[in-house]
């Protein structure tokens, strides 16, 4: 574990330098602790795979004090007992067709049929390691390497919100329209970014997610944004 500054307004705690479930758990506990016990001068924090970066106001406290506050929070967070089990969020996805124009490429790249790719992708359970890059964009762990596929050689200028993609060993869902180089395999009708709600995102670090295949008809007639959440 290591502490270091990020510029003159932030202090970082790094639990590890490689991604793993133990550092993920520490990031999650510290996040929960900081939500409930922000220290004086703290502005906000950004959790990532193995780090938590806390932004503070140097007018209120300097780096050495901010680091001491963060150290204290880290030691307190270690004692948190989380009784609630991680949520499992089920995300409906219409695979292939106009929603997943690269599904066939992903299949042929791996010597699989389209049905096999869908089966493998929707059969997995994925851990949301962190949210970042775009509002509600989940960095997921747990995708099978059997469906891994390289990024597209030239990125698309615009990918619609809700699109599910694969890049290397990663999979994820674009919450808002954005340019991107991922292989697109499907789309969900469920909004991941909900600016009118608090929190404004469907997914949070620590959630488990599953993808459930739906037909184009189900996609087009999807009502509300009910998502099956199981314990």
- For residues 145 and 172, give the distance between their C-alpha atoms in angstroms, rounded to a whole number: 14
Taking the CA atoms of residue 71, residue 11, residue 1 and residue 68 in that order, the dihedral angle to the nearest 10 degrees is: -20
- Widest distance between CA atoms in the chain: 60
Choose which of 33, 49, 174, 182 interacts with another protein (CB under 8 A): 49
150: contact with another protein by CB under 8 A: no
Query: Is the CB of 47 or the CB of 162 nearer to another protein?
Result: 47
Q: How many residues bind another protein (CB under 8 A)?
A: 47
The DSSP call for residue 149 is B
Q: How far is the CB of 104 from another protein (least distance, A)?
A: 29
Per the structure block, which two tokens stand in for 180?
Answer: 């991107």
Residues 154-213 that bind another protein (CB under 8 A): 175-178, 193, 195, 199-201, 204
| Omega within 30 of 0 (cis) for the link into 78 | no
Instruction: Write down the least CB distance from residue 180 to another protein, Å.
Output: 12
Segment near another protein (CB under 8 A); pick from 1-9, 71-79, 109-117, 222-230: 1-9
Query: Is 131 near another protein (CB under 8 A)?
Result: yes
Whichever of 96 and 138 has its CB closer to another protein, that residue is 138
Among positions 66-125, residues that touch another protein (CB under 8 A) are none
Query: In this structure, what is the dihedral angle of CA atoms 112, 114, 115, 117, given to the nearest 10 degrees?
Result: 60
Question: Could you write out the DSSP letters of every residue in 195-217?
Answer: TTSSSSBS--TT-EEEEEE--HH
Chain residues binding another protein by CB under 8 A are: 4-10, 12, 14, 17-19, 31, 43-51, 53, 55, 58-59, 62-63, 130-137, 139, 175-178, 193, 195, 199-201, 204
């Amino acid at each position: 574990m290591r502490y270091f500054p990020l510029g003159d307004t932030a202090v970082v705690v790094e639990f590890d330098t490689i991604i793993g479930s133990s550092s993920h758990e520490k990031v999650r506990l510290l996040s929960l602790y900081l939500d409930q016990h922000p220290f004086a001068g703290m502005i906000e924090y950004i959790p990532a795979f193995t780090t938590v970066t806390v932004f503070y106001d140097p007018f209120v406290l300097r780096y050495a004090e901010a680091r001491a506050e963060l150290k204290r929070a880290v030691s307190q967070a270690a004692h948190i007992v989380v009784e609630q089990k991680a949520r499992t969020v089920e995300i409906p996805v219409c695979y292939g067709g106009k929603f997943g124009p690269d599904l066939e490429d992903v299949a042929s790249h791996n010597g699989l049929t389209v049905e096999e790719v869908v089966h493998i992708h929707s059969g997995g359970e994925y851990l949301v390691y962190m949210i970042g890059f775009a509002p509600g964009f989940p960095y997921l762990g747990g995708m099978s390497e059997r469906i891994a596929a390289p990024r597209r050689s030239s990125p698309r200028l615009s990918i619609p919100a809700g699109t599910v993609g694969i890049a290397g060993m990663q999979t994820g869902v674009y919450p808002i329209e954005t340019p991107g180089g991922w292989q697109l395999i499907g789309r969900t009708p469920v909004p991941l970014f909900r600016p009118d709600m608090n929190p404004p995102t469907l997914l949070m670090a620590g959630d488990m997610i599953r993808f459930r295949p739906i037909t184009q008809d189900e996609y087009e007639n999807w009502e509300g944004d009910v998502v099956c959440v199981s314990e």
